[in-house]
Amino acid sequence: MAKRWTNDLTAADVTPEALFWNRRKLLAGMAGAGLGSIAGGAVAEEGLATNTWEEVTSYCNFYEFGTGKEDPSYYAGAMTTSPWSVEIDGLVDNPGSYGFEQILEAMTLEERIYRFRCVEAWSMVIPWQGFELADLLALAGVQDGAKYVAFETLLRPDEMPGVRYPVIDWPYREGLRLDEAMNPLTIMATGIFGKPLPNQNGAPLRLVVPWKYGFKSIKSVVKITLTDQEPPTSWNMANAREYGFYSNVNPNVNHPRWSQASERKIGGGLFAKRQPTLMFNGYEAEVASLYEGMDLAKHF
C-alpha cells in the first residue's frame, strides 16, 4: 500500500528513549530532591508563577490509575489487555464489537515519528507504531450524517483504583470532528519506541493526534461512536474554561493559567532555553485548512 504521509522528523530528532520512560521519575525526582523549588523558580521567572511544579507536571497521566504522577506505573500493570475489543457504533454501516487481533489483521501498521506535547510546557518527539484512524473508520463504514467521532476508555473499577475518585466523570471520553479523525496524521497507536504500548501509555491501543495537546490522546480505547453532535470530552466536562473541545496546540491562545507561547524540549536539560511553540505543534501545513474561518480563540 502506498504511503500517504511523509515525515519530516528523523530518528535523530527522537527524544532519547530512556528519558521518555523515566520522565515521570525524572520530573518527580527533581521535585523530590528539593529541586522542585528551583524548577518552580525557573518556571516562575518565565511567567508561570501561579503554578507549582506538581501542577505543571501532573498533566501527563492516566487518571484511571490515580492522579499521582507515579500511580500509572504502579497500578496500570493490573489492567487486563487481552482479550480486547472495540465497540464501534452510531452512524456506521457495520456496527459491532471488533476484536483487537481482527483490527490488527485488517490494518496497515507503520512507524511514525511525531512531535508530542504532553505536559503543557514540555515537548517530545516520539516514534509511535500504529495505523490511521481513517482506515479503522472505513472498516466500520462511516455514514453520510456522521460529523464527529467519540471515544471512550475502558472503565473497570476492579483494575483501576483511580476511578473511585470523581476527578473525572468516568469513563474518560474524547472526541474529534470527523475531518480531524479522517486526517492522515491521526493514528491509533499500538506501540512506542518499537515495543507494544505499556499499559500506562494506553495499551493495547490509544489515539494520537499530533497537532493537539497530549490530553486529547485517549488511552486504552474500548468504544468509538460516530455521531452528528459534538461529543462531551472529559477535560472539557471537568474544566470548560481551561479545556475546549479542539485542544489544538496554539501559541497564540494561552491556557488561562499559563502562557503557551514557548516550550521546553524533554532532554534539552532543565535550564535549556525555551523554544517558541509552533502553531498546531508544527503541523500547520497539514492541518491549518481544517480550521479556516474559525475563531480559534473561541474554539480553543
Q: Which residue ranges are tagged as binding site for Mo-molybdopterin?
A: 63-64, 118, 153, 201, 206, 217-219
CB nearer ligand MTE, residue 182 or residue 197: 197
SS3 for the chain, per residue? CCCCCCCCCCHHHCCCHHHHHHHHHHHHHHHHHHHHHHHHHHHHHHHHCCCCHHHHHCCCCCHHHCCCCCHHHHHHHHCCCCCCEEEEEECECCCEEEEHHHHHHHCCCEEEEEEEECCCCEEEEEEEEEEEHHHHHHHHCECCCCCEEEEEECCCHHHCHHHHCCCCCCCCEEEEEHHHHHCCCCEEEEEECCEECCHHHCCCCEEECCCECHHHCCCCEEEEEEECCCCCCHHHHHCCCCCCCCCECCCCCCECCECCCEEEECCCCCCCCCEECCHHHHCHHHHHHHHCCCCCCCCC
CB nearer ligand MTE, residue 23 or residue 131: 23
CB nearer ligand MTE, residue 183 or residue 217: 217
> How many residues of this chain interact with ligand MTE, rule: CB under 6 A?
17
Is residue 86 within 8 A of residue 103, CB to CB? The reply is yes
Name residues contacting ligand MTE, limited to 135-194 (CB under 6 A): 153, 172
The grid coordinates of residue 186 equal: 491521526
CB nearer ligand MTE, residue 59 or residue 100: 59
Is residue 125 within 8 A of residue 8, CB to CB? The reply is no
Among 15, 39, 48, 62, binds ligand MTE (CB under 6 A): 62
CB of 58 to ligand MTE, least distance (A): 8
Among 60, 222, 278, 296, binds ligand MTE (CB under 6 A): 60
Q: Which stretch binds ligand MTE (CB under 6 A): 103-111, 139-147, 212-220, 287-295?
A: 212-220
Residue 260 as a binder of ligand MTE (CB under 6 A): the answer is no
Name residues contacting ligand MTE, limited to 100-139 (CB under 6 A): 118
Using CB atoms within 10 A of its CB, is residue 297 exposed (0-12), middle (13-18) or buried (19+)? Answer: exposed
Among 63, 98, 128, 170, binds ligand MTE (CB under 6 A): 63
Residue sitting closest to ligand MTE (CB) = 214
CB nearer ligand MTE, residue 92 or residue 206: 206
Residue 219 as a binder of ligand MTE (CB under 6 A): the answer is yes
Q: Which stretch binds ligand MTE (CB under 6 A): 29-37, 58-66, 77-85, 263-271?
A: 58-66
CB of 60 to ligand MTE, least distance (A): 4
Using CB atoms within 10 A of its CB, is residue 227 exposed (0-12), middle (13-18) or buried (19+)? Answer: middle
Binding site members: 63-64, 118, 153, 201, 206, 217-219
CB of 93 to ligand MTE, least distance (A): 28
Residue 61 as a binder of ligand MTE (CB under 6 A): the answer is yes
CB of 194 to ligand MTE, least distance (A): 15
Footprint on this chain of ligand MTE (rule: CB under 6 A): 59-64, 118, 153, 172, 201-202, 214-215, 217-220
